């Protein structure tokens, strides 16, 4: 175990290149997590679109009720 001076912050671990963090392996073949995260992104986008549509309808009804 290395001793560090009092109050010194530990040296951060080396960062991996961004290209390796995207979920694609070096050989370009997708791994099993790619499909999972793709589906998650699709479901999140669908949920966002549904929420925005509900908000738009709510706003429309509110504006109709106050006569604008």
Give the pLDDT confidence of 3-60 residue by residue, as tens digits.
555 555 566 666 665 555 555 566 788 888 899 999 999 999 999 999 999 999 999 9
Instruction: Provide the pLDDT for residue 28.
Output: 80
Provide the greatest CA pair distance for the chain: 72
Residue 9 falls within a domain, yes or no?
A: no
Instruction: Provide the pLDDT for residue 23.
Output: 53
Count: domains in the chain = 1
Residue 45 falls within a domain, yes or no?
A: yes
User: Averaged over 62-67, what is the pLDDT?
Assistant: 93
Residues 6+ apart with CB under 8 A from 23: 30, 31, 33, 34, 37
Residue 24 falls within a domain, yes or no?
A: no
Residue 2 falls within a domain, yes or no?
A: no
Q: Domain range holding 49?
A: 32-67
Torsion of the alpha carbons at 12, 17, 23 and 29, rounded to the nearest 10: -140
Torsion of the alpha carbons at 32, 36, 42 and 43, rounded to the nearest 10: 170
pTM: 0.51
Higher pLDDT, 8 or 67: 67
Residue 55 falls within a domain, yes or no?
A: yes
Residue 16 falls within a domain, yes or no?
A: no
């Amino acid at each position: 175990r290395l001793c560090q001076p009092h109050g010194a912050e530990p040296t951060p671990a080396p960062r991996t290149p961004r290209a390796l963090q995207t979920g694609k392996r070096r050989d370009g073949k997708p791994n099993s997590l790619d499909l999972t995260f793709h589906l998650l992104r699709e479901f999140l986008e669908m949920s966002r679109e549904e929420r925005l549509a509900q908000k738009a309808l709510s706003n429309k009804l509110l504006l109709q009720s106050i006569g604008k």
